[in-house]
């Protein structure tokens, strides 16, 4: 599956997109599961705009839970999609804390500015297609396809 | 797709014989080149759908089928509640009742060319489109529920359209069985400011010219002639449908296990039709269908107002409105008998043949208009349902071109500005808030829509009537 060049951040954490017919896959890598969720959230924003162009003006708290890691990851992305849609915001910075099957997170961002963000497409939701949260050697990967 | 996995039954019908957990065959309708180009995932997904409880006759893939979520996009499957049949959120999709609406204008090419730039700018300015856009209609709780119950009938009653529009919309503009109380507060909140918005991605509004007529008799009954100008609107149930899809995907993934349904893929999440989750989904999904019908009706009203200001001589009656992401209860002839089935069409268009009682009288002899959207630089088509389509795939046909290239690859291949300039050189004006979005939607990123509709015609799914080519395109 073709992938975009990984976007590497501190601590060897990174994110990338991967191809899915009509839509797009988001994937985060990090040394811990929670940070892999953070990286995948950056990939989610990058489907819409360049995360670096989003100014962290205000924060939104996010809480979710699910029966397993993979459904929890999808819940996290879907919570972000919901907050983006209802607040008309984009997020460029994230924090995640995992406690068993519960997630407490925070997203920082600003209202959509079409002239500055040039948003390409809105994300309808995170699917379960290629949904995977797993440890690969020394790092964690969290991925799924989002419907646009 | 590897042709060796299939048994060719005709030039456009390919069968996967039941094996393993499959309860019925899987049938793909497409020409050999289209089948060869299909992703192997279409094969896997058609096979997986064929294993779901209560499926009737076959799992079908249309000529534009591509890798979807659980079901292929371009997938059709019917389920019988008396045989333990299921309803699947993945079998409908996130954008519930996404569809296409086509309006006449009474104009000819020269009328539009005289005002093309002004018209494009007015449509772009007054039709809310793109990420973060909001409509001018803001619904309170009471009006939200009225809209979810009433669909396009609600919109017309509030002044956004004409009573005669309604007979030209599937379900006469109102999906029965909608239960607004099954729609979550979150879904309603997501929709509160999105009525009358186009959305983004592959959604669009186009001013098109009829550039070819293939069946003059049916075209005449549809009111189409070469050189006519029409409007095509492609969008769906906006945030409300997306949220319902998201929520029920999770509920059904959990419910399937509780009901002992083994899923080959979590995205096949489903629940028995006769279960609490199944009934909740049907009530909410039907409300989302009404949301989509109301949304396209409001957009129609906005378009009519723009034309009234820019081209006052235009008249914009509705040709037809189809939805291509739905699950509907329909009566079909199966094995010599008549059965009431829950027909899932995921990226597939209903295509009732001539004489069907649900068609408006003026169109009944011709068959249902089947509206096929292409890409912004190529073309779209109007087809008509056929009598034999019921036996082929429960009266279903394709829905569009289908992507040939991922968004990511398209973005690396084209620049939005150049796509706009190239299309302008061909006389097609594109308006969009996002150059990146245009690059992702470049015409060459889609399959050849002509090959898709030719295959649908050859397979007897629907009959080719007219080809449409864009002059103005508004993209979200």
Quick one: three-class SS letters along chain B?
A: CCHHHCEEEECCEEEECCCCCCCCCEEEECCHHHHHHCCHHHHHHHHHHCCCCCECCCEEEEEEEEEEECEEEEEEEEECHHHCCEEECCCCCCCCCCEEEEEEEEEEHHHHHCCHHHHHHHHHHHCCCCCCCCCCECCCHHHHHHHHHHHHHHHHHCCCCCHHHHHHEHHHHCCCCCCHHHCCHHHHHHHCCCECCCCCCCCEEEEEEEEEECCHHHHHHHCCCCCEEEEEEEECCHHHHHHHHHHHHHHHHHHHHHCCCCCCCHHHCEEECCCHHHHHHHHHHHHHHHHHHHHHHHHHHHHHHHHHHHCCCCCCCEEEEEECEEEEEEEEEECCEEEEEEEEEECCEECCCCCCCCCCHHHHCCCCEEEEECCCCCCEEEEEECCCHHHHHCCEECCECCECCCHHHHHHHCCHHHHHHHHHHCCCEEECCCHHHHHHCCHHHECCHHHHHHHHHHCCCEEEEEEEEEEEEEEC
State pLDDT tens for residues B205-236.
999 999 999 999 999 999 999 999 999 999 99
pLDDT of B20 higher than 60: yes
Choose, from B66, B203, B399, B408, the residue flagged as catalytic: B399
Structural domain includes residue B140:
yes
Q: pLDDT tens, B31-59?
A: 999 999 999 999 999 999 999 999 999 99
Q: Check residue B380 and give its pLDDT.
A: 96
pLDDT in tens, B62-101: 999 998 889 999 999 999 999 999 999 999 998 999 999 9
Q: Does A107 touch chain B (CB under 8 A)?
A: no
Let me know if residue A122 belongs to a domain.
Answer: yes
**Would the pLDDT of A10 be above 70?**
no
pLDDT of residue A92: 97
Range of the domain at B328: 3-404+446-475
How would residue B433 be classed by pLDDT, with cut points 50, 70 and 90? confident
Residue A96 sits in a domain whose CATH number is: 3.55.10.10
Q: Tens digit of pLDDT for each residue in B342-375? A: 999 999 999 999 999 999 999 999 999 999 998 8
Q: What mean pLDDT is predicted for residues A75-95?
A: 97
Contact A120 B440 (CB under 8 A): yes
Which tens digits make up the pLDDT trace of B246-290?
999 999 998 999 999 988 888 899 999 999 999 999 999 999 999
Number of structural domains (chain A) is 1
Domain membership of residue A82 as a residue range: 7-147
State how far the Cα of B271 lies from the Cα of B35, in Å rounded to an integer. 31
Backbone angles phi, psi at B432, to 5 degrees: -160, 145
Q: Is the pLDDT of residue B324 over 50?
A: yes
Instruction: Kindly indicate the confidence band of residue B403, based on its pLDDT and cuts at 50, 70 and 90.
Output: confident
CATH of the domain at B389: 3.90.1860.10
For residue B414, tell me if it sits in a domain.
Answer: no
Per-residue model confidence (pLDDT) at position B401:
86
In the predicted structure, residue B423 carries a pLDDT above the cut 60: yes
In a domain? residue B423: no
Residues B290, B178 contacting (CB under 8 angstroms): yes
Number of domains in chain B: 1
- Residues in A touching B186 (Cβ below 8 Å): 82
> Which range (A37-46, B37-46, B240-249, B403-412) has the least confidence?
B403-412
Which residues does chain A have within 8 Å of residue B406's beta carbon, measured at their own beta carbons?
Answer: 2, 19-21, 24
pLDDT (mean) for B283-304: 98
**Residue A66 contacts B where some CB pair is shorter than 8 Å:** yes
Is 80 exceeded by the pLDDT of residue A9? no
Test A20 with B440 for CB contact under 8 angstroms: no
Does residue B141 fall inside a structural domain?
yes
Q: So what's the pLDDT on residue A1?
A: 43
pLDDT attached to residue B201: 83
Does residue B385 lie within any of the structural domains? Answer: yes
Is A121's CB within 8 Å of B434's CB? yes
B406, pLDDT greater than 90: no
Tell me what the pLDDT averaged over chain A comes to: 92
- Kindly identify which residue of chain B lies nearest to residue A72, measuring between CA atoms: B250
Residue contact B434–A145, C-beta within 8 A? no
Nearest to B96 by CA among B24, B5, B191, B12: B191
What was the pLDDT predicted at A20? Answer: 81
Task: Indicate whether B358 belongs to any domain.
Answer: yes
User: Is residue B421 situated within a structural domain?
Assistant: no
Catalytic residue at B399?
yes
Residue A2 has pLDDT above 60, yes or no: no
To test the contact with chain B by mutation, choose from A127, A144, A145 the residue with the greatest count of B C-beta atoms within 10 A, namely A127
Instruction: Assess if residue A1 is contained within a domain.
Output: no
Q: Residue B384 falls within a domain, yes or no? A: yes
A81 pLDDT tier (thresholds 50, 70, 90): very high
């Amino acid at each position: 599956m073709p992938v975009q060049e990984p976007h590497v951040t501190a601590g060897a954490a990174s994110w990338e997109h991967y191809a899915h017919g009509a839509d797009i896959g988001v994937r985060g890598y990090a040394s811990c599961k929670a940070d892999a969720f953070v990286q995948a959230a950056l990939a989610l924003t990058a489907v819409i705009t360049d995360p670096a162009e989003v100014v962290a003006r205000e924060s939104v708290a996010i809480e979710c839970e699910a029966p397993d890691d993979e459904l929890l990851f999808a819940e996290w992305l879907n919570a972000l999609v919901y907050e983006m849609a209802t607040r008309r915001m984009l997020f460029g910075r994230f924090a995640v804390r995992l406690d068993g099957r519960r997630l407490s997170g925070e997203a920082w961002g600003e209202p959509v500015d079409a002239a500055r963000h040039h948003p390409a497409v809105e994300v309808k939701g995170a699917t379960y297609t290629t949904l995977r949260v797993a440890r690969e050697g020394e790092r964690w990967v969290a991925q799924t396809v989002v419907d646009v | 797709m590897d042709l060796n996995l299939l048994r060719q039954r005709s030039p456009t019908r390919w069968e996967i014989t039941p094996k393993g957990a499959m309860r019925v065959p899987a049938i793909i309708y497409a020409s050999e080149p289209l089948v060869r180009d299909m992703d192997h995932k279409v094969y896997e997904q058609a096979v997986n759908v064929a294993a779901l409880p209560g499926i009737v006759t076959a799992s079908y893939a249309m000529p534009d089928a591509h890798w979807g979520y659980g079901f292929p996009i371009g997938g059709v499957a019917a389920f019988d509640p008396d045989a333990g049949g299921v309803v699947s959120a993945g079998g409908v999709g996130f954008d519930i009742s996404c569809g296409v609406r086509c309006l006449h204008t009474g104009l000819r090419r020269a009328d539009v060319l005289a005002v093309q730039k002004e018209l494009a700018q007015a449509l772009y300015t007054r039709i809310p489109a793109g990420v973060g856009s909001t409509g001018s209609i803001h619904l309170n709780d009471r009006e939200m529920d009225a809209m979810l119950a009433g669909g396009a009938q609600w919109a017309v009653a509030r002044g956004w359209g004409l009573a005669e529009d309604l007979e030209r919309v599937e379900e006469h503009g109102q999906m029965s069985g909608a239960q607004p109380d099954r729609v979550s507060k979150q879904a309603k909140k997501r929709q509160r400011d999105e009525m009358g918005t186009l959305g983004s991605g592959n959604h669009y509004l186009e001013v098109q010219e009829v550039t070819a007529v293939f069946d003059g008799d049916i075209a005449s009954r549809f009111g189409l002639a070469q050189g006519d100008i029409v409007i095509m609107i492609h969008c769906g149930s906006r945030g409300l449908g997306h949220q319902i899809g998201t929520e029920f995907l999770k509920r059904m993934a959990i419910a399937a296990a509780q009901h002992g349904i083994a899923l080959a893929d979590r995205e096949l999440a489903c629940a028995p039709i006769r279960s609490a989750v199944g009934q909740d989904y049907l009530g909410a999904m039907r409300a989302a269908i009404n949301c989509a019908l109301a949304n396209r009706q409001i957009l129609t009203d906005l378009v009519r107002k723009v034309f009234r200001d820019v081209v006052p001589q235009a008249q914009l009656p509705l040709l037809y409105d189809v939805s291509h992401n739905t699950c509907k209860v329909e009566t079909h002839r199966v094995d010599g008998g008549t059965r009431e089935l829950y027909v899932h069409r995921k990226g597939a268009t209903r295509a009732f043949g001539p004489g069907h009682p649900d068609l408006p009288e003026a169109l009944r002899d011709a068959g249902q208009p089947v509206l096929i959207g292409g890409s912004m630089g190529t073309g779209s088509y109007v087809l008509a349902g056929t009598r034999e389509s019921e036996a082929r795939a429960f009266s279903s046909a394709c829905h569009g071109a289908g992507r040939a290239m991922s968004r990511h690859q398209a973005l690396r291949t084209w620049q939005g500005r150049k796509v706009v300039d190239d299309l302008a050189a061909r006389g097609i004006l594109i308006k969009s808030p996002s150059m990146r979005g245009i690059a992702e939607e470049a015409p060459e990123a889609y399959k050849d829509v002509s090959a898709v509709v030719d295959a649908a015609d050859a397979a007897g799914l629907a009959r080719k009537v007219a080809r449409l080519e864009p002059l103005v395109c508004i993209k979200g």
